[in-house]
Amino acid sequence: MLNETVFLVPTSYFVILSAVLFSIGVAGVLLRRNAILIFMSVELMLNAANLAFVAFARSLLDQGGQVFVFFVMTVAAAEVAIGLALIVAIFRSKRSTDIDELNSMEG
Amino acid sequence: MNLPTLESINLAASLPVLILAGWACLLTAIDLFISPERKHWTAWLAVLGLLASGVALGFEAVAYSQRGAVSAFGDMAVVDGFALFLQGVFLLSAFLGILLALNYLPRHNIERGEYYTLLLFTTSGMMLMAMAADLIVVFLALELLSLPLYVLSGFAHPRLDSEEAAMKYFLLGAFASGFLVYGIALTYGGAGTTLLSGVVEALVGGGPAPNPVLAIVGMGLILVGLGFKVAAVPFHMWTPDVYQGAPTPVTAFMSVGAKAGGFAALLRVFLIAFPATGDTWGVVIAIIAALTMILGNVVAISQSNVKRMLAYSSIAHAGYVLVAVAAARYPEVEPLAVSAAVFYLLTYAVTNLGAFAIVIALERDDGTGVEVEDFAGLAKTRPWLAIAMTLFMLSLTGIPPSAGMVGKFFVFQAAVQASVGDPLILTVTIIGVLTSVISAFYYLRIPVMMYFRDGEGQANVQPALGVALALTALATFLLGVVPAPFLQMARHALLTLAG
CA nearest to B158, candidates B167, B149, B146, B170: B167
Nearest CB among B140, B174, B192 relative to A42 is that of: B174
Write the CB contacts of B33 (distance below 8 Å, at least 6 apart in sequence). Answer: none
Residue B37's Cβ-count burial label (10 Å; 0-12, 13-18, 19+) is exposed
Contact list, A84 vs chain B (CB under 8 Å): none
* A60–chain B nearest CA distance, Å: 7
pLDDT in tens, chain B (499 residues): 456 777 778 888 899 999 999 999 999 999 999 998 889 999 999 999 999 999 999 999 999 989 888 888 888 999 999 999 999 999 999 999 999 999 999 998 888 999 999 999 999 999 999 999 999 999 999 999 999 999 999 999 888 899 999 999 999 999 999 999 999 999 999 888 899 988 888 887 755 556 788 888 999 999 999 999 999 989 999 999 999 999 999 999 999 999 999 999 999 999 998 888 888 899 999 999 999 999 999 999 999 999 999 999 999 999 999 999 999 999 899 999 999 999 999 999 999 999 999 999 999 988 888 999 999 999 999 999 999 999 999 999 999 889 999 999 999 999 999 988 889 999 999 999 999 999 999 999 999 999 999 888 888 889 999 999 999 999 999 999 999 988 888 888 877 765 4
Q: Do A82 and B147 touch (CB under 8 A)?
A: yes
pLDDT digits (tens, 9 = 90+) for B405-436: 999 999 999 999 998 888 999 999 999 999 99
What whole-number distance in Å separates Cα of residue A30 and Cα of residue A38? 8
pLDDT over 90, % of chain A: 69
- The confidence score (pLDDT) of residue B400 equals 87
Nearest CB among A68, A83, A92 relative to B174 is that of: A83
Nearest CB among B143, B154, B245 relative to A89 is that of: B154
Q: Nearest chain B residue to A71 by CA: give it.
A: B140
Which three-class secondary structure state does DSSP give residue B7?
helix
Mean pLDDT of A2-14: 71
* B150–chain A nearest CA distance, Å: 8
Cβ–Cβ < 8 Å for B99, B464: yes
Cβ–Cβ < 8 Å for B190, B214: yes
Cβ–Cβ < 8 Å for B11, B77: no
* A4–chain B nearest CA distance, Å: 20
Contact list, B193 vs chain A (CB under 8 Å): 62, 64
Q: Do A55 and B151 touch (CB under 8 A)?
A: no
* A34–chain B nearest CA distance, Å: 11
State the ipTM, two decimals.
Answer: 0.94
Contact list, A18 vs chain B (CB under 8 Å): 185
Domains and CATH numbers, chain A: 11-101 (1.10.287.3510)
Cis upstream peptide for B234 (omega within 30°): yes
Cβ–Cβ < 8 Å for B43, B101: yes
Torsion of CA B330, B296, A45, B188, to 10 degrees: 10
Which three-class secondary structure state does DSSP give residue B332?
coil
The beta strands (E) that lie in A41-98 are given as: none
- The confidence score (pLDDT) of residue B499 equals 42
Cβ–Cβ < 8 Å for B271, B333: no
Summary mean pLDDT of chain B: 92
Q: Do B167 and A48 touch (CB under 8 A)?
A: no
- The confidence score (pLDDT) of residue A7 equals 54
CA nearest to A65, candidates B12, B273, B195: B195
- The confidence score (pLDDT) of residue A1 equals 43
Amino acid code (one letter) for B33: F
- The answer to whether A106 contacts chain B (CB < 8 Å) is yes
Domain boundaries, chain B: 8-491
- The answer to whether A102 contacts chain B (CB < 8 Å) is yes
Q: Do B308 and A106 touch (CB under 8 A)?
A: yes
Amino acid code (one letter) for B494: L
Beta bridge partners of B77: B72, B132
- The confidence score (pLDDT) of residue B212 equals 81
Nearest CB among B170, B179, B188 relative to A65 is that of: B188
Q: Do A104 and B157 touch (CB under 8 A)?
A: no
Q: Do A93 and B163 touch (CB under 8 A)?
A: yes
Q: Do B143 and A78 touch (CB under 8 A)?
A: yes
* A53–chain B nearest CA distance, Å: 5
Q: Do A86 and B167 touch (CB under 8 A)?
A: yes
Residue B421's Cβ-count burial label (10 Å; 0-12, 13-18, 19+) is exposed
Cβ–Cβ < 8 Å for A28, A47: no
**Phi and psi for B72 in degrees, rounded to 5?**
-135, 165
What whole-number distance in Å separates Cα of residue B8 and Cα of residue B409? 40
Contact list, A83 vs chain B (CB under 8 Å): 170-171, 174
| Residues 74-93 (A) with a CB less than 8 A from some CB of B | 75, 78-79, 82-83, 86-87, 89-90, 92-93
Q: Do B164 and A29 touch (CB under 8 A)?
A: no
Contact list, A89 vs chain B (CB under 8 Å): 154, 157-158, 163, 166
pLDDT digits (tens, 9 = 90+) for B31-60: 999 998 889 999 999 999 999 999 999 999
Contact list, A48 vs chain B (CB under 8 Å): 182
Amino acid code (one letter) for B90: F
- The answer to whether A54 contacts chain B (CB < 8 Å) is no
Distances (CA, A) of B394 to B379, B397, B447, B482, B490: 16, 5, 9, 17, 22
Number of Cβ atoms within 10 Å of the Cβ of B279: 9
* A2–chain B nearest CA distance, Å: 22
Contact list, B139 vs chain A (CB under 8 Å): 68, 71-72, 75
Dump the DSSP string for B269-308. IIIII-GGGHHHHHHHHHHHHHHHHHHHHHHHHT--BHHH
